[in-house]
Structure 1
């Protein structure tokens, strides 16, 4: 499934931040967004994921092919690790959580309430949700936050496996995941010329 972004312009808080963004992402490809903090990478990803409307341009992807993972882990604190994954699997019409548990080394934690997990464990569980969605296009905003070195390597291997199965990944990250096949897109040239951002605005981009 191909993701195509055409002449996309986006705003945050009514201020135009990026304009004219265009690219395509084919099955088996990864694209890493680059650019300084505050330029609008999060806003761009949220727009592509359909969480907010673009100012101009369009995002083309087949229905029900995208899944977004942002800064929030999306966990229910009173449910166990296993119950959280089962919940999300059911939401997306899936029933296999074993591969997600294995991929993120969560089996020893399966009976622990999510609210009692460390920050890194919560992040691993949050990312494991990607594997129970059954969706091929992953849109990821700083997915390695709170992950230690071993968990980053674990996540990178999950991405490689996903790409190898014909999935794709669009992600913003400052971490080198060792994805030699990944393309990069610096969004700096797409900065809107009229954008006047102060520190308060940048905190939310």
Structure 2
């Protein structure tokens, strides 16, 4: 699906971030900068704070020290789409109902045609009217990818985006990432697996 260009310039800058969990230091002195069209891969062993760093960038977790600045042209809000490791689907809702709910939260398209197109792009259009509880793990992950298509936000934060995806699913993710980057978007992904699109830069937490 063609993606309109995002407002520019897009930038994400973190300076000297520090994180604690239960009073125990997890990481400190973390800094990076990212521009539109770039991918940052956050890597490191379990427990080093990869997901915590994503939550910090998303504004869901306050740093002990440091700061994060995000810019997207003159846009003052609605920069980010945070796709967490959990799929965020309500089991009793249909796939369509779940996507409508998330699109309202992220200010994306909520019409049936837009949702069908997004699901078709991720290979899940046939499941549009199924309850989420009927989906496999890989299908639930694809439903999450459809959220990215609908939200049209310039900065993606992805937590273990390839987890639960088969080879075809990884190819779908790679296509979405390339389209997003070509439109000038930026991607930050926490992962312990290889991303389908090579990262522009890598940040290793230890």
> Which TM-score band applies after superposition, normalised by the shorter structure?
0.7 to 0.9
Unpaired stretches in structure 1, ≥5 consecutive residues:
189-205
**How far apart in 1 are the matches of 2:48 and 2:199?**
25
Aligned length in residues: 188
Correspondence 1:40 to 2:54 = no
CA RMSD between the two structures: 1.5
Cross-structure match for 2:163 = 145
Deviations 1:8-59 (A, max 9, x none): 1111222111111111111111010121121111111111111110000001
Deviations 1:63-113 (A, max 9, x none): 320121112111121221122112222222222334421221111111111
**How far apart in 2 are the matches of 1:116 and 1:98?**
18
Correspondence 1:67 to 2:102 = no
Query: Which structure 1 residue ranges, 4+ long, deviate > 3 Å from structure 2?
Result: none
SS at match of 1:101: helix
CA contact (8 A) 1:8 1:54 kept: yes
**How far apart in 1 are the matches of 2:78 and 2:22?**
28
Deviations 1:119-168 (A, max 9, x none): 11111112221222221101111111111111111111111111111111
Unpaired stretches in structure 2, ≥5 consecutive residues:
1-9, 72-76
Cross-structure match for 1:22 = 31
**Do the aligned partners of residues 136 and 98 (structure 1) sit closer, same or farther apart at CA in structure 2, a change above 3 Å counting?**
farther
Length-normalised TM-score, structure 2: 0.85
Correspondence 1:6 to 2:24 = no
